[in-house]
Amino acid sequence: MMKLKIYYNPDCSKCRATLALLEENGVNPEIIYYLETPPDIEELKTLLKQLGLGIREILRKSEAEYETLGLDDDSLSDEILFEFLCAHPRLMQRPIVVRGERAILGRPPENVLALIGEH
C-alpha cells in the first residue's frame, strides 16, 4: 500500500479519531504536526489541488484568528489568504490525509476510508 500522510493536531478530536481509524485498518501514516511545522504556500497549494478545494474552503471560520484577521473580507486575494494560513496554521481545517496525488479532509473521519480502499 502507498504511504499515507496525515496533517495532525493532537488536540483535535477529529484528528485523533481519524488516526485511530487509519491504525485500526492497518495503516501507519506519516504524522505531520502542522502546528509545529506549518506547510509553506507551495505545499498548501498542492494540498488544495489534491483536495479539489479552494483556499476559503479549508479555513476554520470558528477560530478566533479568522475574525481577528478579518478573513471574512471577500476582497482578500487568495495569495493573502495563503500568507495568513502559513502564519496561522491553526486556521487550517484538519485532519487532511494524503495518499499519492489525492487528499481527503477527515471530517468526518470515515471520509479517509475512501483513500485506504484504493489500490
Q: According to DSSP H, which parts of 1-119 are helical?
A: 13-24, 41-51, 64-68, 78-87, 113-116
Q: 57: domain range?
A: 4-116
- Per the listing, cell 471530517 goes with 107
pLDDT tier for residue 117 given thresholds of 50, 70 and 90: confident
Pairing of strands 4-8, 30-33: parallel
Count of Cβ atoms closer than 10 Å to residue 32 Cβ: 18
Active-site residue, 12 included? yes
DSSP 5-38: EEEE-TT-HHHHHHHHHHHHTT--PEEEETTTS-
> By percentage, how much of the chain surpasses pLDDT 90?
94
What does the alpha-carbon distance between residue 113 and residue 105 come to, in Å, rounded to a whole number? Answer: 11
Domain count, the chain: 1
Q: What is the CATH number of the domain that holds 74?
A: 3.40.30.10
pLDDT at 77 over 50: yes
Q: What's the DSSP call for residue 112?
A: G
The rounded mean pLDDT for the chain is 94
| Pairwise CA distance, residues 56 & 60, whole Å | 9
Question: Using 50, 70 and 90 to split pLDDT, how confident is the model at 66?
Answer: very high
| Whole-prediction pTM | 0.93
What percent of the chain is predicted at pLDDT more than 70? 97
Q: What distance in Å separates the CA atoms of residue 7 and residue 113, rounded to the nearest whole number?
A: 16
Q: With 60 as the cut, is the pLDDT of residue 119 above it?
A: no
> Which candidate in 6, 8, 11, 12 is catalytic?
12
